[in-house]
Amino acid sequence: MATETAESKSFGSNGNQMMFSLFDTIIRSPLNRFMEQAVDEGKIPIGYTCSYIPRMILSAKNLVPFRVFAPGVSSTEMADTYLPSTICSYTKSILDFAINGRYDFLKGWVLTSSCQHMSRFFDNLKHTVNPPFIKIIDLPNRVSESAIRWMMAEMNELRTDIQTHFQITVSDEDLNEAINRHNDSVQLLSAIGELRKNKTPVISGTEFHKLMMAALVAPEAFLFKPLSDIKDALSKRELKEDYRARVILVGGQLDDPAYINIIEQSGALVVSDRICTGSIPGLDPIPHGTDPIERISAHTLTKTSCPRMMDNFQARLAAIISAYETFQADGIIIEAIKFCDTWGLEARELTDSLREKGIPVLKLEREYRITGEGQLKTRIQAFIESMGK
């Protein structure tokens, strides 16, 4: 209900919001109708948890990648048995869903050592659920030539393990095809995302995030048409400037558009997002090249910009400032899930550095599932007022 209200408020209740109902349905539950259809067709859905896991390999041949999320999670009793209260609530939520069989449609899991919470998720998932195929990618904490070589070895190992376990052959040609599909998909999403640069954007942050999330949890092939339709429909959409400030959202794992909706309901339009499931830098296409493994490895390692990459703080800061300028934002909202060590510290340093440059910043700590909506609105409203908007 809250989602519809915000969309209506920003873009008129002319029925345009109905165009997103398909995407609402897709992200309502882990097993969406497109994924169900893919499973029925004999596809192999593989769950993954992090932007550093290359979807392209998991979408080659008849594989289907599924970015693991826990929509509608209300409590995590089962996971709480295994994980302490100081583990981030995203980790606990997906472990709880896994133990409760909500991901049973997945034929395998590919995880990564992106952070310590995820590393222990791997251990506890293996201990509790013990999926038939589970693999953890050893991800370097630096971007360098030797790190890319390391990543290539990891990718080759992943390909071999997939081939052996699922009895399929994933050729270079298959990977190149998957890369092309990926590039087509991100170019389409990028084109829609570009519309957010307009002074009066025809798409809200909430709506855009629905598209992004749907693209991460449903098979690519099923989404080209609906995304193209959305793109066309947006060109005819009625414009209405009904926000007080333009903000950029920065943070880690955020897969619930309702969180962005609360921000927008409070008067701050999210015009760009540097989050794990967002547009920066998630929508960069993979450059051309010959060796698909090398292309995938270099792209994955260099384009994703998580605080876990030790040497890249300045680059991350520069990317945020660049987005702030390009999207003509008024301020930046940094959100981090409580107990996330990397984002917890990064948020502090980003806040200081951005404020030193005179950019208004609001730092929010949150749980994976939405809690304290009233307090959140109050803080957003106070932030908007502090910017003189």
Partner 1 sequence: MDIRKNIRNKTSYIFTVTKIYLSVALILLKRGPFLLIDLWRYPWLFNFLKLYKLYKIMNFRKGHFKDGSVCTLNGIAILITNYIYDMLKNPDKLVLAEDIIPPEIIRAMGLTPFSPEILAIVLTIITPDAMEKYIDICENSGIPGDLCSLPKCAMGMALGNVLPKPKAIVASNLPCDAGMMSYVTIEKHMDVPIIRLDVPYNFRSDRAITYFSEELARMIHFLEEHTDGKMDWQELKNILKERNKTQETELELWDLAKTKPTPVASEMIYLSHLVTFNIFPGDKRSTEIFRKLIEFGKKNLEEGKGAIENETYRILLWNPPFAHFPMAFSWAETKHQAVLIMDSMTFNTIDYVDTATNESMIKGLADIIMQGPMSRHVRGPSENYFNDIFYIHNHFKIDMIWVADNIGCKMSAGLNEILREKCRERNIPVLVISYDLMDQRFTSSEDIKTCIDNFMETIMTGNLETGLFDTDAKHMISTER
Task: Quickly tell me which residue has 């890369």 as its tokens.
Answer: 179
Cα–Cα distance between 305 and 365 in angstroms, integer? Answer: 20
Closer residue to partner 1 (CB): 12 or 344 = 344
Q: According to CB under 8 A, which one of 36, 41, 123, 172 is a site residue for partner 1?
A: 123
352 binds partner 1 (CB under 8 A): yes
Q: How far is the CB of 339 from partner 1 (least distance, A)?
A: 5
**What is d(CA 352, CA 69) in angstroms, rounded to the nearest whole number?**
31
Query: Using alpha carbons only, what angle is made at residue 137 by residues 131 and 140, rounded to the nearest 5 degrees?
Result: 160
Among 4, 78, 105, 150, binds partner 1 (CB under 8 A): 150
Shorter beta-carbon distance to partner 1: residue 63 or 115: 115
Residue (41 or 138) nearer to partner 1, CB: 138
Assess 179 for contact with partner 1 (CB under 8 A): no
Of 28 and 355, CB closest to partner 1? 355
Q: How far is the CB of 14 from partner 1 (least distance, A)?
A: 44
Q: Are 159 and 151 in contact (CB under 8 A)?
A: no
Stretch that binds partner 1, among 112-120, 188-196, 202-210, 255-263 (CB under 8 A): 112-120
Tell me the residue ranges of DSSP E strands in 62-198.
Answer: 63-67, 108-112, 134-137
Can you list the positions of beta strands (E) in the chain?
Answer: 44-48, 63-67, 108-112, 134-137, 245-251, 268-274, 331-337, 361-366
Q: Of these, 53, 60, 99, 147, which contacts partner 1 (CB under 8 A)?
A: 147
Q: Per rule CB under 8 A, is residue 389 in the interface with partner 1?
A: no
Site for partner 1 in 209-228 (CB under 8 A): none
From the CB of 213, what's the least distance to partner 1, in Å? Answer: 26
Question: What is the distance between the alpha carbons of residues 291 and 289, in angstroms, rounded to a whole number?
Answer: 6
User: Judged by CB under 8 A, does residue 100 bind partner 1?
Assistant: no
283's tokens:
């929508």
Distance CA 60, CA 56 (A): 6
Report the DSSP beta bridge partners of residue 47.
66, 109
Say which amino acid occupies 158: L
CB 249 within 8 A of CB 263: yes
Q: Are 125 and 47 in contact (CB under 8 A)?
A: no
Task: Give the list of residues 6+ apart from residue 255 with CB closer than 8 angstroms, or none.
Answer: 27, 67, 69, 71, 213, 216, 277
The one segment of 60-68, 187-195, 266-274, 338-346 that binds partner 1 by CB under 8 A = 338-346
Reference 317, options 328, 307, 327; nearest CA is 307
Given 2, 5, 72, 142, the residue binding partner 1 (CB under 8 A): 142
Which among 11-19, 78-86, 99-107, 232-240 is the span making contact with partner 1, rule CB under 8 A? 78-86
Give whichever of 13 and 156 is closer to partner 1, judged by the CB atom: 156
Q: Quick one: which of 28, 197, 240, 348 contacts partner 1 (CB under 8 A)?
A: 348
Residues that bind partner 1 (CB under 8 A): 81-87, 113, 115-117, 119-120, 122-124, 127, 136, 138-142, 144, 146-147, 150, 153, 307-308, 310-311, 313, 338-339, 341-342, 344-346, 348-349, 351-352, 363, 365
